[in-house]
Amino acid sequence: MGAPAGPVAARTVGGMRTERVSQVVLLAWAGVVLVGALALFAAEVLVGPGGVRGDGARPAPGAVARAGASVEAGAGASVPDLEALIGDREAWLRRYPGDDASWAVLGAAYAERGVRAGDPAAYPRAERALRRSLAIRPAARGNADAAVGMGVLAQARGDFAAARRWAEEARRRQPRAWRAEALLVDAYRGLGDDAAAGKALERLRKLRPADAAALSRAVGLYRDRGWREDAEALAHDAVARARTPVERAACLARLGDLLWERGLPREALARYAAALRAVPGDAPSLAGRARALAALGRTDEAVGAYGAAWAARPLPEYALEAGDLYAALGRDAEARERYEAALERAAEAAGHGVDRSLVRARYEAEHGEPDRAVARLRARWRLGHRSADVADALGWALLRAGRAREALPYARAATDRGVRSALFAYHRGEVERALGRTGPARRQLEEALRINPYFSPLHAPGARRALAALGEPSGPPPER
């Protein structure tokens, strides 16, 4: 959705009246933020009314109780607390294996540990626990907790269509379950269905009007629509309402990302630093810090920050970004090492049911075999995963494969959705340039550098070179 010309116009989204500002600029987040999402569904299971667990016992003091409180708030728990919760439920289930509620809690804890530690091997364990819960008490008999758990596990694996199906099943069983609505917002965003995500957000906001988890989802949807000022305002509110250090760090990192995407690396760096004070070693904040440091020319520190992010959570996208930084610095051997690590980690994740096709396709388009990237992304598109990220990646892969005319509709789909992304604008500019459309190419390349002049250590310099090659415009402006 594009911004209207002229001054400010009022609108209501997600149950909130806010202001829409023209000429907004915002870069899409790569992937869906999952910190805390995998703990959403077990609140009433682990800690019920009066602080009593679903098994009838009060939670043990310390880490297990903290994990339970985090779950109750819909916020993320620390890895040590998750480990304590896993041990607590495993011990209980050895004595009482027919407790479907505890199997659901155990599945949730495994899944969140997998996300927070970057360990995809935890996901099959999570699935076994959740399916055990459903075998004891199916979703049709009211086991909405395990149904939502299966949905958030599918979300963590990148299967947004399955996440939507499980969330809808849970919603049928518990029509006012806020956890199902939160999952639906995430799933619809992953599928690129902004209208359905907006409706789910409205329902969520009615159920949890002042909750950080709901506010964070509003931030993501506003960003997708290009409503930059509104997204930042809500991100500040989410930070203020965060209930745990993990949730606070996630909200601060999200705010840092919004600032980074506007080309404000110093301001972003301050938010990442605050997040790291809340949770030392927080991987998303370390990766964001690396991007900001690279933009400021502090490349040695940036390399170190990428290394720390990888050590904390070895995600292939972190290795891919680090490889691009090394390549921009002319350190080709180290770049190849990082790219190989990204591919190895993506293959390992795929072995545990995680869809890393977007990361693998981005590597193939840039450094490998673009036709292979096209095949991967077309398969994802056919499955209904039609977010702006997938459209952009598919358009870029088609261009790199020498199929610029086929690429243009996808490049347009990415930039015309409302997301204000420097990377998307750059990709579209290069597609337009390959087709000889000089005016549109110049506009898109200028837009990319206006949004964020530091958007990529490899491609920001490429955008400047492409603009120089196009030269100054002459004559009347061309038709769009």
Which domains occur in the chain, in start order?
A: 31-187 (1.25.40.10), 363-480 (1.25.40.10)
CA 162 – CA 182 distance, rounded (Å): 15
DSSP E strands in 110-240: the ranges are none
Taking each continuous run of H as one helix and of E as one strand, the counts in the chain are 24, 2
| DSSP-derived secondary structure letter, 13 | E
Inter-residue contact 414 to 392 (CB < 8 Å): yes
Strand partners, 20: 9
**Virtual torsion, Cα 389, 395, 399, 402, nearest 10 deg:** 130
**Virtual torsion, Cα 181, 184, 186, 190, nearest 10 deg:** -170
Please give the structure tokens belonging to residue 153.
């596990």
Q: What are phi and psi of 142, to 5 degrees?
A: 105, 10
* Cα of 135 vs its chain's centroid, Å: 31
Give the angle 304-305-310 at the CA atoms, nearest 5°: 100
Please give the structure tokens belonging to residue 328.
């921009």
Please give the structure tokens belonging to residue 274.
């605050």
Classify each residue of 240-268 as buried b or exposed e, where b means 16 or more C-beta atoms within 10 Å of its C-beta: ebbbbbbbbbbbbbbbbbbbbbbbbbeeb
Q: What are phi and psi of 444, to 5 degrees?
A: -70, -40
Say which amino acid occupies 63. Answer: A
CA 389 – CA 398 distance, rounded (Å): 14
**For each of the chain's 480 residues, which pLDDT tens digit applies?**
333 333 233 333 444 433 332 232 222 333 333 434 444 444 434 443 333 344 444 444 477 767 666 655 556 778 888 899 899 999 999 999 999 999 999 999 999 999 989 999 999 999 999 999 999 999 999 999 999 999 989 999 999 999 999 999 999 998 888 999 999 999 999 999 999 999 999 999 999 988 898 999 999 999 999 999 999 999 999 999 998 899 999 999 999 999 999 999 999 999 999 999 999 999 999 999 999 999 999 999 999 999 999 999 999 999 999 999 999 999 999 999 999 999 999 999 999 999 999 999 999 999 999 999 999 999 999 999 999 999 999 999 999 999 999 999 999 999 998 899 999 999 999 999 999 999 999 999 999 999 999 999 999 999 999 999 998 876 555 444
- At residue 5, the 3 state secondary structure works out as coil
Classify each residue of 68-87 as buried b or exposed e, where b means 16 or more C-beta atoms within 10 Å of its C-beta: bbbbbbbbbbbbebbbbbbe
In SS3 terms, 131-166 reads as HHHHHHCCHHHCCHHHHHHHHHHHHHCCCHHHHHHH
- At residue 17, the 3 state secondary structure works out as strand
Inter-residue contact 137 to 143 (CB < 8 Å): yes
For 159-193, how does the pLDDT look when each residue is reduced to its tens digit (9 = 90+)? Answer: 999 999 999 999 999 888 899 999 999 999 999 99
- 386's CB contacts (< 8 A; 6+ apart) are 191, 192, 193
Of 263, 226, 222, nearest in space to 26 by CA? 226
CA 229 – CA 236 distance, rounded (Å): 11
